[in-house]
């Protein structure tokens, strides 16, 4: 009876192609990322030789290994004009800012952020009967170091005022003086209109508080500068004695600095 050679009845995976291995029909190898099946017994013939091999599958396009671009925790991947790029982690609290089409993203500081608050309460009494010049009340001042240039200062001064004699009212004139560290005094704000009107309390115990708010963009100082804000006051009526911070009510300063 004649013998019928059926050959292999299934594929035989042989792994990566080796030039010294004898391959028979239906052996399958990998080569350069593709796979090939032997169709004619062969030794030393590359899988790309169509006489002995048929290609079963071809290698796809290699992907990009992002581990070579993103090297540190917090890195962000973006594409610039030439390819993929790494944006290292920014400063804590900053946000990722787009700069529009054709520009790379950057980390940026958020706007409208309160960056510093200075507060001072004066517990010292100060009197004034002078009606011609401002009295420098150095105990009604606050020292303050700006967090950065170009920040906006919201300055709130609340003087507690009392007067002890005179007619039925007392007008209060004042100015705010700013002194940079190592610099000269400059008038920051001055009110000569005498609009701060208080009614006299015959008991001498009336202490009223006036809230004055100022908005100022500080464009000439930075974190190495210290500013001193001082209030000078003036009494247009010499017969009336004014007390700043008398009794249990005290003058207060509050400065809030906001990054625009």
Q: Which residues contact 215 (CB under 8 A, 6 or more apart)?
A: 152, 153, 154, 155
List the domain boundaries for the chain: 12-57, 74-109, 114-259
Q: Say which DSSP state 24 is in.
A: -
Residue 20 has what pLDDT? 94
Q: Find out whether 39 and 25 touch, Cβ atoms under 8 Å.
A: yes
Length of the chain: 260
The tens-digit pLDDT sequence of the chain (260 residues) is 566 555 556 789 999 999 999 999 999 999 988 999 999 998 999 999 999 999 998 877 666 778 888 899 999 999 998 889 999 998 887 889 999 988 999 998 777 777 778 888 877 777 777 677 888 777 778 888 888 777 788 888 877 766 665 545 566 778 888 888 888 888 887 877 664 555 444 454 445 556 667 777 766 677 778 888 888 877 777 666 777 765 666 778 888 888 76
Of 256, 154, 173, 161, give the one whose Cα is nearest residue 213.
Answer: 154
Residue 155 has what pLDDT? 82
Q: Say which DSSP state 66 is in.
A: G
Q: Find out whether 138 and 147 touch, Cβ atoms under 8 Å.
A: no
Q: Find out whether 200 and 168 touch, Cβ atoms under 8 Å.
A: yes
- Distances, alpha carbon 140 to alpha carbons 24, 187, 214, 232, in Å: 101, 15, 16, 8
Q: Find out whether 153 and 218 touch, Cβ atoms under 8 Å.
A: yes
Question: pTM here?
Answer: 0.52
Topology (CATH) of 114-259: Jelly Rolls (2.60.120)
Q: Which residues contact 165 (CB under 8 A, 6 or more apart)?
A: 239, 240, 241
152-167 burial, b for 16+ CB within 10 Å, e for fewer? ebebebbbbbbbbeee
- CATH number among 1.10.150.120, 2.60.120.330, 2.102.10.10, 2.10.10.20, domain 12-57: 2.10.10.20
Residue 150 has what pLDDT? 77
Residue 25 has what pLDDT? 92
Structure tokens that stand for 48 in this block: 């790309």
Of 54, 55, 83, give the one whose Cα is nearest residue 69.
Answer: 83
Nearest 5°: CA angle at 159, between 157 and 161?
A: 165
Of 137, 144, 110, give the one whose Cα is nearest residue 233.
Answer: 137
Q: Is 14 left (phi over 0), alpha (psi -120 to 50) or beta?
A: alpha
Write down the H helix ranges in the chain.
none
């Amino acid at each position: 009876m004649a013998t019928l050679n059926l050959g292999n009845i299934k594929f035989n995976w042989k792994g990566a192609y080796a030039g010294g291995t004898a391959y028979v029909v239906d052996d399958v190898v990998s080569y350069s990322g593709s796979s090939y099946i032997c169709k004619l017994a062969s030794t030393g013939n590359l899988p790309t030789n169509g006489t002995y091999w048929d290609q079963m599958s071809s290698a796809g396009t290699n992907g990009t290994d992002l581990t070579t671009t993103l090297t540190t925790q917090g890195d962000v991947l973006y594409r610039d004009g030439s390819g993929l790029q790494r944006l290292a982690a920014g400063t804590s609290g900053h946000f990722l800012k787009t700069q529009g089409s054709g520009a790379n993203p950057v980390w940026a500081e958020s706007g409208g952020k309160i960056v510093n608050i200075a507060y001072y309460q004066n517990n010292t009494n100060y009197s004034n009967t002078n009606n011609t010049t401002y009295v420098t009340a150095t105990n009604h001042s606050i020292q303050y170091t700006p967090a950065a240039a170009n920040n906006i200062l919201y300055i709130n001064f609340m003087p507690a005022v009392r007067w002890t004699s005179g007619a039925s009212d007392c007008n209060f004139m004042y100015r705010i003086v700013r002194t940079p560290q190592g610099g000269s005094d400059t008038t920051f704000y001055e009110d000569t209109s005498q609009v701060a009107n208080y009614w006299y309390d015959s008991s001498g115990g009336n202490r009223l508080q006036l809230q004055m708010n100022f908005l100022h963009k500080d464009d000439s100082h930075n974190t190495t500068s210290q500013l001193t804000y001082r209030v000078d006051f003036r009494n247009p009526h010499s017969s009336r004695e004014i007390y700043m911070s008398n009794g249990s009510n005290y003058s207060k300063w509050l400065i809030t600095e906001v990054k625009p």
